[in-house]
């Protein structure tokens, strides 16, 4: 049976660090409120003055993932960028990446908008597309520059989000496992939405925090359980649970409800904030660099966000 494995990961975060104390200079908030309610201590924003943009984050994360995988751009058959904050609607971020890295013209390139669930959605979409692609490697990037859609007069949203990108290279081969992905959407729920980058009116992210919190604590444990059921394994057989970093309290709730070992569910929200589609792959890459994920590791990922969307998947490292 054909399936997929992760060959390598990469990430890129901008240079400008915004601490909670920095946020308190912009809106009426405090380090104490933000850190106890969310676990966030700092986040990073792109700085155009030093040449940082959505495009550069995507390019750097993708190049690092390819290097870690030992794969050349010419070998990539599918290139997906999960995002809703790209620099341009068209060319898509994936097409810009094709040009930046010199991937062949017959690489399937497009952007995918499933907000914070985008990277996990993207893994599943890549798994589905690879059988029809020109080459058996997929580059899946999750990247968002949320600082572009923040209302910096709204303390209930602006303190939560940051910018960043992460990427993974998948290989499709005989004998590799399926991702056992689960996914869903609920388009009539307006508790989290952004009208669109480039609109004449400010295109800010709008959120009913408590409603999204309830949604998240419903779908995160559900995604986990469903993926484990599909894979026919127990939580003990998973090396790491990589959850979307929106609020440490959401992860803690899910970990407790599922009875997971907290040591397998480490997060990084303290220094990233919520980077939307970047969140899962940045954490994945940090764990790889910390030596906590590597060859043979099995990782269960789950994300949720605007749409509303959610997705879960189980992947193995080659
Ligand atoms: O990727 C998916 C995206 N989003 C999420 O997953 C977010 C899910 N929701 C959450 O994480 C939490 O609901 C928040 C962190 C957004 C808010 O935490 P909360 O414990 O649900 O707080 P709350 O909305 O109930 O607000 C409590 C109080 C309010 O004041 P009053 O009405 O009690 O006087 C808010 O006005 O905290 C106030 N507040 C703040 N105070 C200081 C809201 N934001 C801030 C702030 N600083 N930044």
The pair of three-digit structure tokens given for residue 228, joined into one six-digit string: 């484990």
Please give the residue that has the higher pLDDT: either 280 or 191. Answer: 280
121-140 mean pLDDT: 98
The span from the CA of 118 to the CA of 181, in Å, is 13
Report the range of poorest mean pLDDT among 26-35, 82-91, 135-144, 161-170: 82-91
The pair of three-digit structure tokens given for residue 282, joined into one six-digit string: 């940045």
Q: What is the structure's pLDDT at 195?
A: 79
- 246 in ligand 1 pocket by Cβ < 6 Å? yes
- 213 in ligand 1 pocket by Cβ < 6 Å? yes
pLDDT (tens digit per residue) in 162-190:
999 999 999 999 999 999 999 999 999 99
Q: Which of 20, 21, 156 to mutate to test the pocket of ligand 1 (most atoms within 8 A of CB)?
A: 156
Residue 236 is classified by DSSP as G
The CA 209 to ligand 1 mean position distance, Å, reads 6
- 206 in ligand 1 pocket by Cβ < 6 Å? no
Q: Which of 20, 205, 213 to mutate to test the pocket of ligand 1 (most atoms within 8 A of CB)?
A: 213
State the chain's mean pLDDT as an integer. 96
- The residues spanned by each domain of the chain are 1-318
53-67 mean pLDDT: 98
Q: What is the structure's pLDDT at 199?
A: 58
Question: Under a CB-based contact definition with an 8 Å cutoff, are residues 286 and 268 in contact?
Answer: yes
Question: Under a CB-based contact definition with an 8 Å cutoff, are residues 116 and 304 in contact?
Answer: yes
The span from the CA of 125 to the CA of 103, in Å, is 19
- 306 in ligand 1 pocket by Cβ < 6 Å? no
HSE-CB for 175 with a 13 A CA cutoff: 1
pLDDT (tens digit per residue) in 231-271:
999 999 999 999 999 999 999 999 999 999 999 999 999 99
- 216 in ligand 1 pocket by Cβ < 6 Å? yes
The CA 79 to ligand 1 mean position distance, Å, reads 36
Q: What is the structure's pLDDT at 1?
A: 85
The pair of three-digit structure tokens given for residue 286, joined into one six-digit string: 């940090």
The CA 84 to ligand 1 mean position distance, Å, reads 23
Q: What is the pTM of this model?
A: 0.97
Fold for domain 1-318? Peroxisomal Thiolase; Chain A, domain 1 (3.40.47)
Q: Which of 37, 267, 306 to mutate to test the pocket of ligand 1 (most atoms within 8 A of CB)?
A: 37
Catalytic residues: 116, 244, 274
Q: What is the structure's pLDDT at 202?
A: 61
- 217 in ligand 1 pocket by Cβ < 6 Å? no
- 308 in ligand 1 pocket by Cβ < 6 Å? no
* CA end-to-end distance (rounded Å), the chain: 16
């Amino acid at each position: 049976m054909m399936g997929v494995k992760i060959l390598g990961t990469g990430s890129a975060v901008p240079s400008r660090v915004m601490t909670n104390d920095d946020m308190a200079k912009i809106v009426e908030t405090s380090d104490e409120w933000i850190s106890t309610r969310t676990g966030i201590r700092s986040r990073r924003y792109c700085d155009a003055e030093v040449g940082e943009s959505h495009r550069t984050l995507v390019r750097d994360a993708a190049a690092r993932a390819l290097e870690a995988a030992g794969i050349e751009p010419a070998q990539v058959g599918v290139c997906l960028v999960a995002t809703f904050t790209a620099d341009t609607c068209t060319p898509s971020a994936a097409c810009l990446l094709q040009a930046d890295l010199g991937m062949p013209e017959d690489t399937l390139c497009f952007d995918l908008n499933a907000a914070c669930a985008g990277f996990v959605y993207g893994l599943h979409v890549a798994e589905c597309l690879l059988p029809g692609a020109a080459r058996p490697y997929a580059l899946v990037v999750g990247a968002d520059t949320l600082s572009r859609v923040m209302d910096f007069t709204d303390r209930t949203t602006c303190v939560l989000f940051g910018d960043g990108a992460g990427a993974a290279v998948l290989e499709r081969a005989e004998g590799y496992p399926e991702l056992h992905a689960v996914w869903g959407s609920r388009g009539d729920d307006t508790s989290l939405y952004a009208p669109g980058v480039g609109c004449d009116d400010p295109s800010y992210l709008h959120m009913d925090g408590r409603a999204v919190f309830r949604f998240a604590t419903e779908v995160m444990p559900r995604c986990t359980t469903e993926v484990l059921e599909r894979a026919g394994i127990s939580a003990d057989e998973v090396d790491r649970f990589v959850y979307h970093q929106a609020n440490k309290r959401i992860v803690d709730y899910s970990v407790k409800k599922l009875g997971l070992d907290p040591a397998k569910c480490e997060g990084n929200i303290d220094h990233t904030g919520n980077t939307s589609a970047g969140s899962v792959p940045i954490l994945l890459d940090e764990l790889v660099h910390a030596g906590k994920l590597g060859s043979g590791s099995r990782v269960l990922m789950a994300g949720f966000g605007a749409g509303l969307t959610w997705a879960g998947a189980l992947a193995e490292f080659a």
